[in-house]
Chains A and B, each alone.
Chain A
């Protein structure tokens, strides 16, 4: 039996990017906020200490910053005819744990989505005609648009101090930036990162081919920066222990380096860590959230009543909590009804490796978001007439740091051990680079999230079941975009090129990206979406569900900037609309 705690104005679930941003905004409004986090409080000096942060075994191999699958796992299958089995160790993606969430160990690549992305279905239908839409796609509009989103993107850029070069300032194209981005209201808060050799060589080749390379927008900062909350970050040192690691330099923007140091000092904020929310509680009518029930690390259950509930965990946990709490109708791919679990999408990861004889890339120098990219083959930046697919990818060289347990490129056919393995490994280590293409993942009827009928967590609750496979549309796109990357690679003159477009079935074992999106999507129609454009649930007006779970499909960009912008959007709606007139902000 749960022990009842004193009522709060707001309970926030999860203290990653979204939860920290919303908690900060709502405490500014004077509300009494408690945030519940299933992992520990993370602190740079203690958890990412500079004396021991550069440890590949601990952080990359043993995944210390990720949530332990023993605590929270998922099951996976490629289609509904298979039996889903647990992902026993994190493979394809890396969900985080503790304050900061996956934002501690992320790469830091901070794109904004394009203006057309928010009304993708309408945009493609208007441009190519309804008949051109591949039948397997269940694309949807987001119910918002660029004009609404831009101020929130700008808020996040300022909070995190994002480094980069604008390509479009208020409609005027800027030399050196990404010409395909939506019009920005202001320049990046910090200048672009310095570039290592690999990205520089790529940018030269791309420029010669007529493309417009730009510095990848980075949450690893190029210079010291003090954000609007008064929190100061330091410059990135290109240490190369970045993606999958916490940053010891306070250089990588995360909730713990930008928000929490200010938020925790407010008298109307409380964080409860090492405590996992079991469910959102509803009143008898099912149309009002009354709070949450959570369990602490000793197994004791607590009921936290609140007037407003904000669910802002990782995509998987957002959807699982809604299924466990009975919010919305579970999606059923057979009848094509229900919304909770609908439009689950991923990211299509492609790459090209370049082996040189005469180059030295010093590939241990780098960071998750240090690099140069081009956007000519992303989304609808190129004409899709007659191609038989939609979508595209962000093409870029981002040397994340070549710590050698995981980063030992060798040409195909090299043995995995013995003298030949060793000599090929040694020869390729400094002279190899790769070009990545992080590409779109579009929705289809059979890809969805649901509760697993067999496997449970340590508390006996069903695991979330992921049913996902790559679409024909996305595999065609991968083939096309990767061949374009191959053209750039050939212009760079390596001895050998290995093209790796995504092929075949989704494999849950090798890491691809943590960009899991959808399952509780935003939109204009309650029969095909779970939340309105303010991230407010259709059925329960005092419940907001925020994060990449709201994306109806995923463009060829990393999701964090948009997830964080949606957090600002939801907070703004609560502050300026909901509190003035509590109730549904959009009529269903």
Chain B
């Protein structure tokens, strides 16, 4: 498994210009990265993906994790084609995403004022993903307790399906939080987890890629591009390799 590294820590400053270096010394302040004479490249220096090791929850409380697992198990149910979204690790994927830079929408423009736009103006919610899950999951459980006297995760599969479909269609309104905002982010993140590279915690054993016939992180199809209308059956490959590569020897 790849280790985690916050983005940007490997950035280096290259001050090859003596004039610029002198100026920096004179001003005593950081300067933009000045590049002259050669590409700023060091062997084996590269920007790895942001990943976290498994075996624990990073963002979810145990109750939240149970609710999310109960959702992803119905969004992607186990059947002849694949294991469930829960068994594929979609909840772990979401948890790690929320713990990372995605969880706070660090990259996005999140300045106010926040106001409802037209349907053509896209997502205008002030809530970042961590808020959408924390508030949304609490609202979902509150609704389930009020109408079914149980937590969402304690309800039978068919009931959970009905509730999810009701929220998706806007027929069920959750108390105190926009249910559609919750549903859409859970559905989107679940699909990301199921189909993303397994290094991010979902898509266990590359299950979705095997199901589709997607060969994953391969980088060369020159020998296959002109093999038209042919089933290739290429075993998938993750960024982290393939389990059978990790043999003793």
Contacts and interface: CB of A to CB of B under 8 A. Distances in A.
Q: Do A and B bind each other?
A: yes
Nearest to A249: B219
B244 interface: no
B68 interface: no
Nearest to A406: B195
B34 to A, nearest CB: 6
B222 A235 contact: yes
Interface in B209-231: 209, 211-222, 224-231
Contact of A51 (B31, B115, B239): B239
A88 B38 CA distance: 37
A240 B218 CA distance: 9
A362 B35 contact: no
A229 interface: no
A200 B108 contact: no
B192 A51 contact: no
B152 to A, nearest CB: 16
Contacts of B46: 45-47, 49, 51-52
Given A62-B102, A83-B115, A43 B229 contact: no
Contacts of A479: none
A49 B45 CA distance: 9
A294 interface: yes
B107 A62 contact: yes
A507 B33 contact: no
Contacts of A430: 212-213, 231
A507 B120 contact: yes
Contacts of B62: none
A505 interface: yes
Interface in B158-188: 161, 164, 168, 187
B76 A422 contact: yes
A405 interface: yes
A52 B81 contact: no
A26 interface: no
A492 interface: no
Interface stretch (B53-61, B121-129, B130-138, B140-148): B121-129
B149 interface: no
B119 A507 contact: yes
Contacts of B228: 196-197, 200
A418 B74 contact: yes
A207 interface: no
A5 B17 CA distance: 13
Given A418-B161, A426-B81, A56 B39 contact: no
B82 interface: yes
Contacts of A52: 46, 48-49, 239
A343 B232 CA distance: 49
A6 B39 contact: no
Given A88-B124, A271-B34, A70 B230 contact: no
B221 A509 contact: no
B5 to A, nearest CB: 12
Interface in B56-108: 74-77, 79, 81-82, 102, 105-108
A69 to B, nearest CB: 4
A429 B212 contact: yes
A484 interface: no
Contacts of A47: 46-47
B245 interface: no
A260 B108 CA distance: 29
A408 B209 CA distance: 12
A41 B40 CA distance: 8
Interface stretch (A71-79, A131-139, A434-442, A577-585): A71-79
Given A69-B109, A195-B226, A300-B30, A240 B221 contact: yes
A404 B208 contact: yes
B212 A238 contact: no
B37 interface: yes
Contacts of A418: 74-75, 77, 161
Given A46-B46, A69-B108, A429 B213 contact: yes
A335 interface: no
Interface residues of A, number: 98
Interface in A428-457: 429-430, 454-456
B35 A264 contact: yes
A213 B202 CA distance: 42
B196 interface: yes
B77 A419 contact: yes
A369 B47 CA distance: 26
Nearest to A295: B32
A324 interface: no
Given A54-B239, A419-B77, A195 B225 contact: yes
Contacts of A514: none
Contact of B197 (A55, A88, A265): A55
Interface string A394-420: 000000001111001000000011110
Contacts of A62: 102, 107
Interface in B1-47: 11, 17, 19-20, 23, 27, 29-41, 45-47
B191 interface: yes
A297 B30 contact: yes
Contacts of B76: 417, 422
B117 interface: yes
Contact of B118 (A82, A267, A302): A82
B111 interface: yes
Interface string A494-537: 00000000000111110000000000000000000000000000
B113 interface: yes
A444 B3 CA distance: 52
Contact of A239 (B40, B209, B213, B220): B220
Contacts of B197: 54-57
B41 A45 contact: yes
B155 interface: no
Interface string A248-274: 110000000000110011010111111
A275 to B, nearest CB: 3
Given A239-B221, A405-B191, A426-B212, A57 B120 contact: no
19 contacts: A43-B40, A46-B45, A47-B47, A62-B102, A62-B107, A63-B107, A68-B107, A82-B118, A86-B109, A87-B122, A195-B225, A197-B229, A264-B36, A273-B35, A297-B30, A417-B74, A422-B76, A425-B212, A426-B212
Interface of B: 11, 17, 19-20, 23, 27, 29-41, 45-50, 74-77, 79, 81-82, 102, 105-111, 113, 115, 117-124, 161, 164, 168, 187, 190-192, 195-197, 200, 208-209, 211-222, 224-232, 239
Given A240-B221, A417-B76, A417-B164, 5 more contacts: A46-B45, A46-B46, A365-B221, A417-B75, A429-B213
5 nearest A-B pairs in the assembled complex, by CB-CB distance: A275-B32, A296-B32, A298-B30, A54-B217, A69-B109
